[in-house]
Structure 1
Amino acid sequence: MNNRKPLVTIVVPSYNQGRFLEDALNSIAVQKVPAEIFVMDGGSSDESVAIIRKWESKLAGWRSHKDDGQAAAINEGIARGTAPYVCWLNSDDLFLPGGLDKLVNAMERHAAWPAAYGKAWHLDDANGRRTPAWVEPFNERRMATRCVITQPASLIRRTAWTAVGGLDAKLKMALDYDLWWRLYRSGGPLGFVDEEVAINRNHDETKTRIHRRLHYKEAMETVRRHHGHVPLKWWLAQPYAVWWKTLIR
């Protein structure tokens, strides 16, 4: 990116997302904060490797082979970096211009925050429509009823990441939700930055659309594990979110 010492380690996990990957990398490249980028590709058979090779001179590292899943790939990439702040940007998501800079500036001002997160947009890939993601200031009771943090709009202090051992590689869906809880239990409330930071792209191949049942199962288990019980809201929302939305896809 530039010759300054990196402030942020950014991991881009990807698998057969070549049609989105370059947009994700471009969104990192326009950030002003110095970053080291690691692309962890799961052995894609599309144009992904050609795109990665095109960007190779701007990357701190990359690889493309079968791995143990998204969480394990992110843990691997972050372990290869050295910067004091860490995050991951899925290859179908985007940083908004200046978004990462806003998160770094907020973390520099609030040394006690284990992590920070900002506002984000959902982008419907089918029609290009943007809608605001449901994000709000951190509160345990609210976190127990829904995840109030949108992952691409987040930044984590490396010391906090190391303290909790990174992502739980056994999780396939709720890996970020579980991480927010563990960061909170270990280091206190996560900081909210009241500015737009990122875009979460929605398309038919996203895990949350394909594996709705597993998503709810892992999320509810995460709440029970970290909060002690599962609020009624989860039981009421599950039939609509899992069964009805699956039928109308």
Structure 2
Amino acid sequence: MVLPVAPLITIAVPSFNQDRYLADALESIFNQSLPVEIFVADGGSTDNTLAILKKWQDRLTGWRSGPDNGQAAAVNEAISHGTAPFVCWLNSDDTYLENGLKILLSFLQSHPEVPFAYGRTWNTDEHGHPTKPYWTGKFSEWHLMQRCLISQPATLIRREAWEGVGGLDESLQFSMDYDLWWKILRHSGPPVFIPKFVATNRIHAQTKTASQRYQHHAESMAVVKKYAGEVPLKWHLAWPWSVWFRSKINKQKA
């Protein structure tokens, strides 16, 4: 008799009307060849999402589709259903690269004092073609004050660190990941950067970051002030480019 292997990672997949990307995200998880438990929290999609979930439901630990209280709440809900010692979430328009999770998991298993690890991410266009790397590097609090140097799809977190800070702040709509890095830093200590590409981050006009730049920038500045006590000058200098100019470019492309 072969006993089932206990899952090592709980993976939350929040989704809403992302049928053109969802299958790629799920397949990238399956291709990790790791014992994982996958929970998809769909916000009540009206596209072909349900057909995709039903196709893959034998490989999913659980899924649901219906109205929820936003992305952060969906991720918290999905992770709460799991029991694995490590947790992460993959937005339905992002993917893991081959062995991406194995790289992060191997490091955390051999460094039990580290609360979470993060690697490198390729930004891609809407078709999944790499465009440029996400700007990241070795961790320091100073760098975290200047910008969110941690790419969310390239992270793996110990469950005890996640639960120690109560997961994501459900009152946030854009910078819940940035807030989480600060919370874990204050509660459990700093993360460690693994200089290898482990995931992709799809950039397209429908993302919240691209379509609501003003709100995203303002919320990120509030997060910095909350944990660092001040907002570095860089955030104010970057406002015209990050909010006005890039929003104008996105409208021209739409």
TM-score, scaled to structure 2: 0.96
Partner secondary structure for residue 46 of structure 1:
coil
Q: What secondary structure, in the 3-state scheme, does the structure 2 residue paired with 1:216 have?
A: helix
Q: 1-side partners of 2:126 and 2:20: how far apart?
A: 11
SS in 1 for 2:132: strand
Structure 1 residue 237 corresponds to structure 2 residue 238: yes
**SS of residue matched to 1:248:** helix
The answer for the alignment partner of 2:44 in structure 1 is 43
- For residues 24 and 127 of structure 1, the distance between their equivalents in structure 2, rounded to whole angstroms, comes to 11
Secondary structure of 2:11 counterpart: strand
The equivalent of 2:98 in structure 1 is: 97
Question: Compared with structure 1, are the counterparts of its residues 29 and 146 closer, same or farther at alpha carbon in structure 2 (3 Å cutoff)?
Answer: same
1:7 correspondence with 2:2: no
Q: Which amino acid aligns with 2:96?
A: F
The alignment-based identity, stated in percent, is 50
How many Å separate the matches in 1 of 2:43 and 2:18? Answer: 10
- Other-structure match for 1:75: 76
Structure 1 residues 127 and 158: alpha-carbon distance in aligned structure 2, compared to 1, 3 A threshold: closer
What RMSD in Å do the two structures reach over aligned CA positions? 1.1
Following superposition, the deviation at residue 127 of structure 1 comes to 8.2
Classify the secondary structure of the residue corresponding to 1:149.
coil
Following superposition of structure 1 onto structure 2, how do residues 143-158 of structure 1 map, counting pairs within 5 Å? 143-158=144-159
State the Cα deviation string for residues 202-236 of structure 1 (Å, max 9, x = none).
01101100110010011000000001100000000
Shift of 1:109: 1.1
SS at structure 1 position matched to 2:64 = strand
Tell me, in whole angstroms, the C-alpha distance in 2 between the residues paired with 1:133 and 1:127: 14
Q: Who is 1:214 aligned against? A: 215
Q: Deviations over 1:44-72 (max 9, x none)?
A: 00000100000000011000000000000
Corresponding residue for 2:163?
162
**What is the 5 A alignment of 1:62-141?**
62-125=63-126, 128-141=129-142
- What is the aligned residue count? 248
Structure 1 Cα separation of the partners of residues 214 and 170 of structure 2: 19
| Deviations 1:176-223, CA, capped at 9 Å, x for gaps | 000000000001111111111000000110110011001001100000
- The answer (yes or no) to whether the contact 1:13–1:41 under 8 Å persists in 2 is yes
Counterpart contact for 1:126–1:203, Cα < 8 Å: no
SS of equivalent residue, structure 1 residue 156: strand
TM-score if structure 1 supplies the norm length? Answer: 0.98
Runs (4+) of structure 1 exceeding 2 A deviation are 126-130
Distance 1:58 1:127 in 2: 24
The residue number in structure 2 matching 1:60 is 61
In 1, distance between residues paired with 2:227 and 2:239? 19
Question: Cα deviations across residues 135-174 of structure 1 (Å, max 9, x unaligned)?
Answer: 1111000100011100000001000001000000000000
**Structure 2 unmatched runs, 5+:** none
Change (3 A) 1:127 1:54: closer
Q: Distance in 1 between matches of 2:66 and 2:231?
A: 38
Could you tell me how far apart the structure 2 residues matched to 1:127 and 1:101 are? 22
- The SS at the match of 2:39 is strand
* Cα distance change, pair 129–98 in 1 and its aligned pair in 2 (3 A): closer
Unaligned runs of 5+ in 1: none
The letter of the residue matching 2:41 is M
Give, in whole Å, the separation in 1 of the partners of 2:163 and 2:135: 28
After superposition, the C-alpha distances for 1:68-88 in whole angstroms (9 at most, x for unaligned) are: 000000000000000000000
What residue is the counterpart of 1:195 in the other structure?
196
Instruction: Tell me by how many angstroms 1:128 deviates.
Output: 2.6
Aligned partners of 1:21 and 1:52: how far apart in 2? 9
